[in-house]
Structure 1
Amino acid sequence: MNNGEKQDLKILIAAPEGFTRAGLKHYLQAWPGGAQVWEAVDSEEAITLTASLRPEVLICDVDLTPDGGVEVVTHLRDTLHDEAPIVLLLGRHLTNDQLMAALATRAGGIVDKSAPPEVLFTAMSEARQGHVFVSSPFITQLFKNFILLPAASGDAAAKIAAALTKREFAVLCLIAQGLSNVEIAGRLNLAEATVKSYSSHVFEKLGVRGRVQAALMAVSAGIASASLGHPVLASP
């Protein structure tokens, strides 16, 4: 390709509603410098097209079917690793669990569907520069979530540690960091299937439904400290 030849930004839109896809496609084709835009109607097509077309940006509806947008991002991270696209998740009226799960995927941004169209361009520009964009309503929700977290308690941390084996506790700490099963397996030198087994034991013993609730419990107990989408291990 000649240096002077135009290189369109490759974008994949994954949303269940045709009206949403058509509106986004029409708007995104005005991207400065040009854009090549594809559409996916469900999570399976989003994963398949991402693997084959390798878009730089994936704009994915949180409510994608049959698997949600968060699950799509997690799958792409686990399979494509550093070659996974920048992902902007679209949502409206997200529950606290949905918001925390979206942040934990390390997506490039979470955009409120009710925001003005130009916000999407801002989000894309920020994400391409390595920043995380979060729409204002979700930032407010995040602050409220963190305020509502109970104060760190040594007793709570001790109870969690006592309920888990040493290896299960290590897995919980890495879940709280936002790491995927593949990343945890690499960190602990375990098979991915083994990590999944440990994770299931952790959820069962702590009485939580999944990774987000387990991470929040670790944060509230003082085992990990909260940060935007990347809870980090607290000092021993």
Structure 2
Amino acid sequence: MIHDAPGQGRAVPLRVLLADDQALLRGAFRTLLDSADDITVVGEASHGGQAVALTRELHPDVVIMDIRMPDMDGLTATLTICADPDLRATRVLILTTYETDEYIAQALRAGASGFIGKGIEAPDLLNAVRTVAAGDTLLSPAATRSLVARFLATPAETPPRHPQQLAALTPREREMVALVATGLSNLEIADRMYLSPFTVRAHVQRAMTKLGARDRAQLVVIAYQTGLAGANHDGSTDGG
């Protein structure tokens, strides 16, 4: 479950663009998103090309993007949006039925800030929007598991890392990285550790910098490469 994200109660609502080829789903998502005081839907797209055009026109804070759409698929649209320097402030949240390792990897390479399944609970979708809008990367637990499974199946795709690389991390940073590797969001980690989300985010970002991780997904992979996460780890470490 994704707990309350920063942004609730903000003076200016988050502006969201919906991109999905199914009108019924777009309508349902719009009703849900517009029910939140801090979120407003500014446009709808039925295919990737339209999503790109509307993003350039409207400059939304977040684009909620389906993957399988006609004309231009969501992954291509995501790559186009994220590569546009005029759209640096826009974040893309993939919302799909297909939580496969290949789609997850492609979405993250394209620049998506989050990847969640359409089976998500309504409050969690609202908080997912808030989370990516705040600058955090969000992977559902299922997406994290798929990403890790892909890495473990093809370890030669990334250079090996060794446990000594963790020496630069503080005990608390190690703890945060191990929890990130289980698929928890910063907000869920904050709830578990009785810390503020901002404190957790600072720890995670420092760990990413020290380990040379370009994003949260790569941080998960590094955690497995170094042995910080895995079958014998539960995300807890000693020290504070």
TM-score (structure 1 length as normaliser):
0.59
Please report the RMSD computed on the Cα atoms of aligned residues, expressed in angstroms: 3.0
How far apart, CA to CA, are the structure 2 residues paired with 1:95 and 1:132?
18
Question: What is the count of residue pairs matched by the alignment?
Answer: 159
* 2:70 equivalent in structure 1: 65
Query: Contact 1:103–1:228 (CA<8 Å) still a contact in 2?
Result: no
Output aligned runs, 1:159-198, within 5 Å: none
Does the aligned pair in 1 maintain the 2:30–2:41 contact within 8 Å? no
Change (3 A) 1:146 1:34: closer
Counterpart of 1:191 in structure 2 is none
**Alignment partner of 1:110 is 2:115:** yes
How far 1:112 sits from its partner (Å)?
0.5
Q: SS at the partner of 1:12?
A: strand
Q: CA deviation at 1:106?
A: 2.5
Equivalent residue in structure 1 for 2:20, among 12, 15, 26: 15
Which protein has greater RCO, CA pairs closer than 8 Å, 6+ apart?
A: 2
Determine the C-alpha separation between the residues in 1 that align with 2:156 and 2:48.
38
- Is the alpha carbon distance of 1:79 and 1:115 closer, same or farther for their aligned partners in structure 2, counting shifts above 3 Å? same
Would you say the 8 A contact 1:14–1:46 is kept in 2?
yes
**What are the Cα deviations for residues 200-229 of structure 1, in whole angstroms up to 9, with x where unaligned?**
xxxxxxxxxxxxxxxxxxxxxxxx999755
Counterpart contact for 1:76–1:84, Cα < 8 Å: no
Task: Tell me which residue corresponds to 1:145.
Answer: 150
Q: 1:121 aligns with which of 126, 132, 135?
A: 126
TM, length-normalised to structure 2: 0.58
1:194-233 to structure 2, matched below 5 A, reads: 228-229=216-217
Q: 1:152 to 1:92 in 2, by over 3 A?
A: closer
Deviations 1:166-209 (A, max 9, x none): xxxxxxxxxxxxxxxxxxxxxxxxxxxxxxxxxxxxxxxxxxxx
Structure 2: which 5+ residue stretches go unaligned?
A: 1-9, 160-211, 222-240
**Identical residues among aligned pairs (%):** 23
Q: 1:83 aligns with which of 77, 82, 88?
A: 88
Gap change, CA 1:127 and 1:34, over 3 Å in 2: closer
Q: CA deviation at 1:80?
A: 3.6
Letter in 1 for 2:63: L
